[in-house]
Amino acid sequence: MSVPEIEAIANAIMIAGSETTATLLSGMTYHLLKNPETLKKLAREIRGAFATEEGITLIGVGKLKYLLAVLDENLREPNSFIPERWLGDSRFASDAKDVLQSFLVGPRNCIDALNPRTTVVELRPPAITQKSWEGQEMYILWQKDPLYITLTARK
């Protein structure tokens, strides 16, 4: 490979490995803090599955149905946040959910597809001052507004 080809691939990897995950996790954080019952349900699932931080594995995280639904819900209809649509809720029976390939599949899938699934923190909502996370502009990358939250270590 030539140096320009290597540089182009390196740039793609840096964007794929940071911007997509940052956007997904920022949006998920916003929606969870705006929907405290959803956050509680997700926290119960995660805490019920793992006794210790060391117990968190990629295989274990892959079994967390509600977490996967919350992640998928970030990449869906923009005017609602209903993770249950991915879990058989009858309101969404006619949705073609199999068309969502947010990180693609197969040999050309996103190299960072599993990263958001392994990022687990405790979220404590401060006063949410943003009126709308969904109203942000996008050019080449999302122009993310600040998301004011406090992260604390789980005790």
- For residue 103, how far is the Cα from the chain centroid? 11
pLDDT at 41: 95
CA distance 5 to 3: 5
pLDDT at 98: 74
What is the token pair recorded at 46? 């995660």
- Would you write out the chain's pLDDT as a tens digit for each of its 155 residues? 788 888 887 777 666 666 677 777 888 888 898 899 999 999 999 999 998 888 888 788 888 999 989 988 887 777 788 899 889 889 888 887 777 666 555 555 665 555 555 554 444 555 555 556 566 665 556 666 777 777 777 67
